[in-house]
A and B are shown apart, each in its own frame.
Chain A
Amino acid sequence: MKYVESKLDPAFASYSHIIPAGESWLYEIKRGQIFRIEDMHGNQAVDTLFYNARDYGDRYSAQDTIREQGNIYLTAGSRLLTTNGNALMTIVADTCGHHDTLGGACANESNMVRYALEKRHMHACRNSFLQGIHAWGQGLSKRDITSNINFFMNVPVTPEGKLTFEDGISEAGKYVELRAEMDVLAAISNCPQLNNPCNAYNPTPVRVLIWESTAE
């Protein structure tokens, strides 16, 4: 696994915000800005969607991204591509090692399938996403909740074609850092999942930081 540290100092970030578990966060990141997500307490799933800020129909595509890099994991060097083949973000630092983009976001309905029919009442990422995009407005709707990234999650695929959810490889203080290649709308649901051993059944806050450029 590849670990790339950043030289950026949080003291010089132009934006810093803590997202509690179970909440959404939408924010426009400008071309050239550096965006960091920090796993403050370890093994927290940060469900993330990215859109071309000028055209929300041109959005992150998990399949195009993994196919063009020839690998299912996202890590330093990964270019996140849109459905139209444009580069949204490049991962420029990563102290976790790799990130998932196949496992998707939890939902009331998928929790009922995966765990038990009685789980409908539990808060889930796709409700957070809906609340976040409705508050953002601009015509965003459920159609725009597409295949997401799960930063800090470990979802390996075996050569036999099995998909497994493994113990996390992240820990408190690990981070991933991305350079915006265009003006990007980021939408995060900090995952509230209580049924998943990956986060030790304990969802925790994460921090997002933005720097104006890579200049120290």
Chain B
Amino acid sequence: MSVLWKELVHGGGMWSHVLKRGTALRITDIDGGANAGVLLYNSGNPVERYNMADTLKAQHIARLTAGNVLYSDMGRILCSVVADSLGWHDPLGGCGNASLVARKYGHASYQERQNACYKNGKDCFLTELGKYALGPRDLIPNINFFSKIAVAGDGSMHFAAPHSKPGDFVELRAEMNTLVILQTCPHPLDPNSVYEPKPVELSVRTAAPAGPDDACRNFCPENGRGFTLTERYFL
């Protein structure tokens, strides 16, 4: 399948795109230690959006990897995870905000640091959402690609570091026309006390539809039904 274009998102950057059904987005961690916070919406009806709980409970998972799919709150699949070199991406930790970033790293304004100023995940999400007339009421639990939080038996959450290596990648195949909102601010639980967000490379390619033998479709019976409901949406 042919690559349509490639693009760099700087560390602490933001990006959005309507990923069309029939295409796939590969996100690559160039330097290692990146974090890509992502929100997903049905671009034709954004009130249908990624649902963390439905994604986790349909597949009995608390981490994302190849074979998993990302459910909307309407029983449909927005995107499938068709390739993953890493094995674990975080659906739990959420995004940082202005006070968390100030507490952890201090302040660096645009006037002082220009495009190296400190940014936070939540405000980047809101800025990018605003371009589609979406706002605070559309903020939902996000995914953090390239980060890992392990949960111990007592429920305690543990950020894994180091985790993602240079060249690690994850690939999302759009099963619906999906508005992808992405930011590359540090994970809110990253223990690094220095603000040094990492870049990611984005690559969009054409992708064949999920056939009967597709690994995501056959990951569990729930996903088979999720694909059926998604395919019906386009009939």
Contact = CB atoms under 8 A, between A and B. Distances in A.
Contact of A165 (B57, B151, B152): B57
B170 to A, nearest CB: 15
B222 interface: yes
B135 A57 contact: yes
Interface in A115-169: 116-117, 126, 141-147, 155-159, 161-165
A67 interface: yes
Given A83-B139, A103-B53, A143-B138, A71 B157 contact: yes
Contact of B71 (A67, A103, A113, A143): A113
Contacts of A104: 51-54, 56-57
A146 B140 contact: yes
A70 B54 contact: no
Interface in B92-137: 92-95, 97, 99-100, 122, 135-137
A138 to B, nearest CB: 13
A108 B140 CA distance: 20
B57 A158 contact: no
Contact of B155 (A71, A108, A161, A163): A71
Nearest to A147: B141
A63 B222 CA distance: 25
Nearest to B100: A85
A83 B170 CA distance: 28
B173 to A, nearest CB: 18
A71 B53 contact: no
Given A83-B136, A112-B225, A61 B94 contact: yes
B3 interface: no
Interface stretch (B17-25, B58-66, B194-202, B210-218): B58-66
B51 A157 contact: no
A185 to B, nearest CB: 14
A159 B188 CA distance: 20
B47 interface: yes
B94 A114 contact: no
Given A57-B136, A71-B154, A102-B52, 13 more contacts: A63-B94, A72-B92, A72-B157, A103-B57, A104-B56, A110-B57, A112-B225, A112-B229, A113-B75, A117-B225, A147-B53, A147-B141, A161-B61
16 contacts: A63-B52, A67-B92, A67-B94, A71-B156, A72-B151, A102-B62, A103-B53, A107-B74, A109-B75, A110-B71, A112-B75, A113-B226, A114-B57, A161-B61, A162-B61, A163-B56
